[in-house]
């Protein structure tokens, strides 16, 4: 059932909803701005309304994926479906494995499995943007912060609002982080500096 949950999550995550929503507004998110079919590029090319809609829909896909995964295999199935959804979003089969960056769909996964961590992660992103003026660097900080929070929540068994406290939180945080890290690193100013 775990494999089935992952595949179900991948299918949900790979549905190219951001591109479809962009086309409804007359915008090809893959051909304009950064070329990324996600919230930040929707904001850059079309303004806040499209960005909010894209974010809500992507988050809903993540939430749906873990809900289906949970029905297939409890917490293990939910985590597998979450990984599948992020993989489907980032490595999208419909876009020749060149999809989004996984943040919007990750928000929905966290709302479904670990809602207590959502505000702290958003706080890291906001602070990261204010300090670095780079959404890429802020996203990398959020990925690192999520892993640290996973260790802390697991160690101190703080309430999660979803998953039972324990090592699965570290697995969830590290797995999601590993899936989205490269895209955010590649597009961040840190990567450009490292190549010099």
Can you give the pLDDT at residue 74? 87
Q: pTM for this one? A: 0.90
Taking residues 32-49, report their average pLDDT.
Answer: 80
Taking residues 48-62, report their average pLDDT.
Answer: 93
More confident residue, 52 or 183: 52
Can you give the pLDDT at residue 185? 67
pLDDT digits (tens, 9 = 90+) for 143-179: 999 999 999 999 999 999 999 888 899 999 999 999 8
* Structure token pair of residue 48: 């806040």
Task: Please report which residue ranges of 15-46 form alpha helices under DSSP H.
Answer: 17-24, 39-46
DSSP letters along 77-95, please? HHHHHHHHHHHHHHS-GGG
Can you give the pLDDT at residue 15? 93
DSSP 157: T
């Amino acid at each position: 059932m775990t494999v089935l949950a992952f595949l179900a999550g991948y299918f949900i995550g790979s549905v190219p909803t951001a591109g479809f929503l962009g086309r409804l507004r007359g915008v090809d998110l893959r051909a304009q701005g950064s070329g990324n079919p996600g919230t930040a590029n929707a904001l850059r090319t079309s303004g806040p309304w499209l960005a909010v809609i894209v974010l809500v829909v992507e988050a809903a896909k993540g939430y749906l994926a873990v809900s289906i995964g949970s029905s297939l295999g409890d917490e293990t199935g939910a985590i597998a479906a979450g990984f599948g959804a992020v993989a489907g979003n980032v490595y999208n089969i419909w876009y020749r494995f060149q999809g989004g960056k996984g943040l919007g769909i990750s928000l929905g996964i966290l709302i479904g499995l670990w809602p207590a961590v959502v505000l702290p992660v958003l706080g890291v992103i906001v602070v990261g943007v204010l300090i670095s003026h780079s959404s890429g660097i802020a996203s990398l900080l959020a990925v690192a912060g999520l892993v640290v929070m996973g260790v802390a929540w697991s160690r101190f068994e703080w309430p999660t609002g979803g998953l039972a406290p324990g090592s699965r939180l570290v697995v969830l945080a590290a797995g999601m982080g590993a899936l989205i890290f490269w895209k955010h690193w590649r597009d961040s100013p840190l990567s450009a500096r490292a190549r010099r």
